[in-house]
Structure 1
């Protein structure tokens, strides 16, 4: 029988060999390789270097946090759009490829950064300064708060310095701005255009333009978007407001005194330093050399007033002796701030500080040490801070309770209202995009929440969302109506009004087209009765007499006499005919040149940066793992 043959075969040599081959393969490779295929989840490889999904996620979340810190809650609205998230994700990935490609080429060029260079860069980083010098404890705390470690931070800094070693000479060489470039752009910015401007009289045209019901119906049929009744909702809501809680905080003198005693250091008035300066402006010939001479004379014993009178470019030095007054840390630029708070003794001088304004020498005239004022002297400030701190603590507790209870009792807001002692309010009818509603119903946060498809159809409590940093809200949508086209009979008056406005605009266009054709043909223009002309009107860039759109079109006219453009100016069509192009003699050419030069340098630096990264990419072996990239993108969409 078959089973007997199988039993006999199980004792054969071939079976035993196969059995041990399988057992040994399990031992050496693990059973997981037989059950679960190994997936490649790294989205990109650059040469032998893998950009992992974890690294990509980390960079993405860092970027989102930075955007939220800079732009606030509106970033969340941006991230609700799956296409925006995808674009941001892919841009971050491309930036990572740029950096890895450049770092790889640095390594191939044998660019290495030594330990001392890394240490020096860390010690010179302003973020790690305390009392005017590097503070190791602050460095360690800052790095930990970044979610990093000192070794990893140093490694990243080493990589960055290597890239800078390669990039800085290239970028510097390619960001030189030549005088002819600045001159050409300055002339462009200070250009004026002299035009003849033809303006139809819309009021006069309106007197003889007529539209029928048929015209209104035709306009209605062609412009349904203008006659839609917006989608609307009706909901109940609970609003938790920090401002309201502040008004409800009971004032207890003992509590206020206790708050002051616990937080006394927060009321410290910082050290202030009184100082004077000798300023030699950057426009002065050999200003750095003169500053060095001035410092030499000061250190040799000459008085500050005598040296300042000789070297300072401050026109008020003789009267005010270069006094900058009483300053606390951070009141000056970074370089001057460090210089001032590095002077050890009253009457001492700083080293020469060079910046865009020129050369500075600071003298320390006096020190007002930091101190903690008495409670009686700052009673109102302490009271305000006590109220704020107490209200914020109550707000945090109530918002947590609101979140929990509204989730645990999803069918209504009654339980949540009782739990936090805040009333349930009725919204009334809220139309999509209606900004005339009372706050907070008009806010983007509330409208997004109310018109969210799941929220409007489920009739259960929404998530609690923040409105700024000091308010939060939860809704329960009771009814929703889709946007719908209003019947023609109901909007006939509006259709007649809009149809007539279009007919007037069309008539104005026809009149101006005729004038434009005559101008182009070189004919003498005969003005229609409903058109006026303003001759030789000078238009500047940024001219407030016209709409930005009209000015843009005027400066888009080809630079030749009698060239023209028809465009709207604050809702009415106008024809601009170019007569002359000239320069604004009243413009501050030097100021324009200074602004343009700095912007042009930045533009060229960015361009050189881009070309450097592009070059690094072209000579790097970049491999995209499309399936791994798509998995991340699809996961983002599913989380929306």
Structure 2
């Protein structure tokens, strides 16, 4: 029988070997590997380098913070668009891949950075300086605030230095700007265009349009989307702000003195340096060579004034002797700043510093050491900072207490407001996006929470709504109304105006299209009293008499006589017909040359940097984990 054969086989050598193989695999691999499949959650692998989901999310948050610092509240609109957020996340991921690919190829090339090189680079980093030199305590505190560790920071610095070893020679070579490039672009920017403008005042056509009641009603029925009343919400709310709490801070002399003694570094008057410079502009032929000649003469003992009068392109040098006045760190560009504060002796000269403006030679004229002033000299400043600090502490306490009480008593803000000694206010009807309302009802943060489905349907207190670093709000929604179509009777006059505008615009477009066709055939266009011709108008870039978009359209017309494009200026349809192109004089071209040279250097560096990373990608084995990428995007979409 089959069972007998199985029983006999169980005592055979083959069975025992298989049995022990299975047992050993459980011992060494663990039961979990059989029951729980291993999931690869790393979004991307570049050779042996893996980019984790945490690394991706962290880099994304860094990017968002940087954008918020640069663009302010306006960035919130973009971050509320799921598609825009997804695109931004993928851009951050691609940048991580670029860096990882370059790091991998750098390592393959055998480039290694020694410990001393890393230490030297860290010691030269100005962010870790105190009293003009490297300070280890500042380094440790700064790295900790970055959410990093000294070892990890050193590791990142090592990788960065290795990549610079490959990239820097390429970037230096690629950033060379040739005179002919600057000249061609400057002539393009200095260009102006002579055009004929056929414009129509939309009001002139609209005044001739008479719409019947049936036509007005028909337009209303066909364009309901133009006459919708927005969704509105009403809520009770409470605001806590540092500014309001400043009134509750009590000040006395003893507290001010104690605060000053504990925070003297906040009132330290920084070191200042008086200096002068010889500047040879980048537009001067052989400007760097001439700067080196000037420096050689200074080192030979020639006076700064005589050398400056010979070489400096500063028209006021004879009068000012190149003086830049008394400066603190950060007053100059980074290169000049480093050069100035690296000089040790009064009267000494820097090396030649080359930047987009030209070649500079800095002379140190004097040093005023940093000092701590007497309390009496900065009393008003100390008082202001003391009140700010106390109000911030009070704000932190009250917002924390309010958060707890609003959560414990979710149906009303009254009890929490009473304990925090603040007033519960009523919002009135609020429409999403209405910026005409008083603060904070007009903020995106409050409106977003007020229209959140969970908040408006629960009739419970919201979580804390942060309004920057010094204010917050809590709301409790009491009423919500969906968007609805306005009654025709209530908007009949508005419908008539909108309908007449739409018809007038279409008629104006037809007239201008007919003129455009005639002009392109070198025919004299038929015009009437509605169309106004302004012939031979000269328009330059940045001309304040026209809308920016209109000027863009003027310069987008094909460079061919009688070419035309229909645009709009000041709300009126206008046909632009090109007659000729003019280039301004040398003075205007020179003005643009200075601007273009700097921009072109930056453009070339960015382009070369992009090409370096593209090359590293080509040499790397990049594997995208689409499932992991989708998982990270979906998780963060839900969180947002």
In the superposition, the TM-score normalised over structure 1's length comes to 0.90
In structure 2, distance between residues paired with 1:258 and 1:124: 36
Cα drift, residue 22 of structure 1: 4.6
Cα drift, residue 21 of structure 1: 5.0
Aligned equivalent of 1:350: 349
Check the 8 A contact 1:353/1:360 in 2, yes or no: yes
Aligned equivalent of 1:238: 238
Aligned equivalent of 2:554: 554
Cα drift, residue 124 of structure 1: 3.1
Deviates more, 1:227-236 or 1:35-44: 35-44
Quick check: 1:294 aligned with 2:293? Answer: no
Aligned equivalent of 1:429: 429
Cα drift, residue 393 of structure 1: 0.9
Q: How many residues align?
A: 634
Cα drift, residue 304 of structure 1: 5.5
Cα drift, residue 77 of structure 1: 5.2
Aligned equivalent of 1:457: 457
Aligned equivalent of 1:616: 616
In structure 2, distance between residues paired with 1:263 and 1:352: 38
Aligned equivalent of 1:179: 179
In structure 1, distance between residues paired with 2:295 and 2:598: 28
Aligned equivalent of 1:54: 54
In structure 2, distance between residues paired with 1:450 and 1:129: 47
3-state secondary structure, aligned to 1:362 = strand
3-state secondary structure, aligned to 1:113 = coil
Check the 8 A contact 2:43/2:624 in 1, yes or no: yes
Matches within 5 A, 1:228-627: 228-277=228-277, 279=279, 283=284, 286-298=289-301, 314-345=314-345, 347-356=346-355, 357-365=358-366, 367-585=367-585, 588-627=588-627
Aligned equivalent of 1:147: 147
Distance 1:338 1:531, change over 3 A: closer
Distance 1:71 1:514, change over 3 A: closer
In structure 1, distance between residues paired with 2:265 and 2:232: 52
Distance 1:223 1:469, change over 3 A: same
In structure 2, distance between residues paired with 1:20 and 1:311: 90
Distance 1:74 1:410, change over 3 A: farther
In structure 1, distance between residues paired with 2:553 and 2:321: 53
Matches within 5 A, 1:64-213: 64-72=64-72, 75=75, 78-213=78-213
Cα drift, residue 456 of structure 1: 1.2
3-state secondary structure, aligned to 2:437 = coil
In structure 2, distance between residues paired with 1:106 and 1:222: 64
Check the 8 A contact 1:242/1:471 in 2, yes or no: yes
Deviates more, 1:278-287 or 1:466-475: 278-287
Check the 8 A contact 2:202/2:501 in 1, yes or no: no
Distance 1:9 1:403, change over 3 A: farther
In structure 2, distance between residues paired with 1:343 and 1:616: 40
Deviations 1:468-507 (A, max 9, x none): 2221111001110011111222211111111112222223
Deviations 1:569-614 (A, max 9, x none): 1211112222111113376212212322332232233223223322
Cα drift, residue 379 of structure 1: 2.4
Distance 1:337 1:532, change over 3 A: closer
In structure 2, distance between residues paired with 1:320 and 1:311: 15
Check the 8 A contact 2:295/2:352 in 1, yes or no: no
Deviates more, 1:521-530 or 1:61-70: 61-70
Distance 1:176 1:414, change over 3 A: same
In structure 2, distance between residues paired with 1:577 and 1:7: 96
Cα drift, residue 93 of structure 1: 1.9
In structure 2, distance between residues paired with 1:60 and 1:12: 61
3-state secondary structure, aligned to 2:94 = helix
In structure 2, distance between residues paired with 1:174 and 1:637: 40
Distance 1:86 1:9, change over 3 A: farther
3-state secondary structure, aligned to 1:588 = helix
Check the 8 A contact 1:511/1:528 in 2, yes or no: no
In structure 1, distance between residues paired with 2:85 and 2:167: 31
In structure 2, distance between residues paired with 1:630 and 1:267: 51
Deviates more, 1:477-486 or 1:45-54: 45-54
In structure 2, distance between residues paired with 1:459 and 1:256: 46
In structure 2, distance between residues paired with 1:278 and 1:576: 49
Cα drift, residue 242 of structure 1: 1.6
3-state secondary structure, aligned to 2:27 = helix
Aligned equivalent of 1:30: 30
Deviations 1:240-283 (A, max 9, x none): 12211112323333333332333334222223334445556563
Instruction: Please report the RMSD computed on the Cα atoms of aligned residues, expressed in angstroms.
Output: 3.1
Deviations 1:90-123 (A, max 9, x none): 2222222222222222233333334444344333
3-state secondary structure, aligned to 1:157 = helix
Cα drift, residue 68 of structure 1: 3.9
Distance 1:102 1:322, change over 3 A: closer
Check the 8 A contact 2:336/2:353 in 1, yes or no: no
Cα drift, residue 67 of structure 1: 3.3
3-state secondary structure, aligned to 1:199 = strand
